[in-house]
Amino acid sequence: MILESLLKPTQHIVISEGILGGTNVISSQKTVADLKNFFQDEAERSKIDQQKLLYKVQAHLPVDEGTPGGLFFGTTWLQPGTIGDEYFMTKGHFHKLADRGEYYWGLKGGGVLILMDEKRNFRGEYVYPGSLHYIPGFTAHRVANTGNTELVFGACWPSDAGYNYDEIARNGFSCRLIKKEGKAHLISANSRNPAIL
C-alpha cells in the first residue's frame, strides 16, 4: 500500500543506442528525395536512389509542440556516405522561436556538428561517443556523418522551440563539410547555393 505512488517510468531508453520506448514516441525519416537542393552537387543527388534512407529520428514529445516550458528528447540515426564530396547530413534548422537553445550529444560513430549564427558565421564541433554540444539560441545546427558507420546522436530541446527550415532552404549554410583526400574539411560555401523547396 505504501508503495502505491512509486511508479514505473512511462519512458525508457537503450542508453548506448539511443533507442526510445514508451508513450508519445514518434518516428520519422528523411530520404535522398527529402534533401533535394540541400547538397552542393544537386545533379549527383538526383542520380541516387531517391528512396535511399539518409536518417531517421525518434522523439519523445510529452506535450504538444509549441507548449512553453516543456522539453523534447530525441535520437537521430544518420547513415554514412557522400553526395559528390559532401558528407551525408541532416537538413539543419534555426528554431522558430529563434532564441531557444538545444543540447546534442554523440552516441555512436563520428561526425561534425555544423553551427551557423544569424550573421552566417560558422564553426564545427567533432561529434563522437561522449561528445556533448550546447547549441545556443539564434544558431542553426546540422550534423554530418564523416565515418563509415551509422552516426547516432541524441538531442534535447524546448517544446516551444519549433523549426525554421525556411532560412536554410533559401540561403543554405555558409559552409560545407567535404571529404578531401579521405579527410573532413569545413569550408566556406563558394556560393549561396540556395536549396529551393
The contacts of residue 76 (CB under 8 Å, 6+ apart) are 55, 56, 57, 90, 143, 152, 153, 154, 155
Query: Judged by CB under 6 A, how many residues of this single chain contact ligand M6P?
Result: 9
Q: At closest approach, how far in Å is the CB of 192 from ligand M6P?
A: 19
Q: At closest approach, how far in Å is the CB of 102 from Zn ion?
A: 5
User: Which of 40, 76, 82, 159 is in the footprint of ligand M6P by CB under 6 A?
Assistant: 76
**CA atoms of 24 and 168, how far apart (whole Å):** 29
**CA atoms of 125 and 22, how far apart (whole Å):** 32
User: Which of 40, 82, 90, 139 is in the footprint of ligand M6P by CB under 6 A?
Assistant: 90
Gyration radius of the chain over CA positions:
17
Q: At closest approach, how far in Å is the CB of 25 from ligand M6P?
A: 13
Q: Does 93 bind ligand M6P (CB under 6 A)?
A: yes
Which residues of this chain interact with Zn ion, rule CB under 5 A? 102
Q: Residue 74 binds what, of ligand M6P, Zn ion, none (CB under 5 to 8 Å, by partner type)?
A: ligand M6P
Q: Does 155 bind ligand M6P (CB under 6 A)?
A: yes
29-68: contacts with ligand M6P (CB under 6 A): 57
Q: Does 159 bind ligand M6P (CB under 6 A)?
A: no
Residues near ligand M6P (CB under 6 A): 57, 74, 76, 90-93, 155, 157
